[in-house]
């Protein structure tokens, strides 16, 4: 009887660690007591960008057999503000199994169409916005890791659909 109880307990524990969900929102919400809001997703790299109250979070998820799993193990969270202009987040991080990733956001009621990052080498990287956020891989011409990213950035801009600058990062 003790073996059966122990076996059931082990199965229950293991199944709790591998909870799979129909949607990315359900998978991420399973890790939080407060309501979250998914605002962006990179399906190729299995990254999800979401809000937990005022915190902006980027994390990795798994998608297998039509189900999502999320465990907060590889997630980066931040709260940002600005003393002048609109709050503009630009960040670079390394995720195991994914590599070097750039992500960011701007806090505004205006709809951001795209972000453009200008590098000191003269190159520009354009990224389509989704819900005033973005997730992208390092461009091939950057041969640095996430720790050296800001040494290569000249500036970043958020543009509206009329090609007007909403805000610059610097």
- What pLDDT, in 10s, does the model give residues 68-112? 999 999 999 999 999 889 999 999 999 999 999 999 999 999 999
Number of H-type helices and E-type strands within the chain: 2, 13
In this prediction, residue 1 carries a pLDDT of: 52
Q: Which range has the worst mean pLDDT, 2-6, 123-127, 149-153?
A: 2-6
Residue 37: in which H helix or E strand, if any? strand 36-42
Pairing mode, if any, of strands 88-95 and 36-42? unpaired
Rounded mean pLDDT of 149-153? Answer: 97
In this prediction, residue 12 carries a pLDDT of: 44
In this prediction, residue 17 carries a pLDDT of: 52
Pairing mode, if any, of strands 114-119 and 75-78? unpaired
Q: Which carries the bigger pLDDT value, residue 6 or residue 124?
A: 124
Has residue 164 got a pLDDT over 70? yes
Q: Contact, 20 vs 68, CB < 8 A?
A: yes
Rounded mean pLDDT of 137-142? Answer: 94
pLDDT band at 5 (very low <50, low <70, confident <90, very high): very low
Domain segments of the chain: what residues? 19-168
Distance (Å, whole) CA 70 – CA 18: 9
Has residue 2 got a pLDDT over 60? no
Quick: pLDDT tens for 11-69: 444 444 558 999 999 999 999 999 999 999 999 999 999 999 999 999 999 999 999 99
CA-to-CA dists, residue 84 to 54, 76, 81, 167, angstroms: 19, 25, 9, 11
Rounded mean pLDDT of 110-124? Answer: 97
Distance (Å, whole) CA 97 – CA 40: 19
What pTM was estimated for this model as a whole? Answer: 0.86
Q: Which carries the bigger pLDDT value, residue 132 or residue 11?
A: 132
């Amino acid at each position: 009887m003790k073996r059966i109880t122990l076996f059931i307990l082990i199965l229950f524990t293991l199944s709790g660690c591998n909870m799979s969900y129909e949607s990315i929102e359900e998978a991420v919400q399973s890790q939080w007591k407060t309501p979250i809001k998914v605002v962006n997703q990179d399906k190729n790299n299995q990254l999800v960008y979401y809000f937990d109250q005022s915190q902006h979070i980027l994390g990795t998820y798994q998608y297998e057999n039509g189900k999502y799993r999320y465990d907060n193990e590889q997630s980066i969270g931040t709260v940002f503000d600005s003393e002048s202009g609109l709050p503009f987040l630009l960040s670079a991080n390394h995720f195991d199994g994914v590599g070097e990733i750039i992500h960011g956001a701007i806090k505004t009621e205006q709809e951001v169409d795209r972000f453009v990052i200008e590098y000191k080498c003269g190159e520009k990287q354009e990224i389509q916005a989704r819900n005033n956020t973005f997730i992208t891989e390092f461009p091939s011409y950057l041969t640095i890791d996430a720790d050296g990213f800001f040494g290569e950035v000249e500036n970043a801009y958020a543009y509206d659909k009329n090609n007007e600058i909403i805000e610059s990062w610097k």
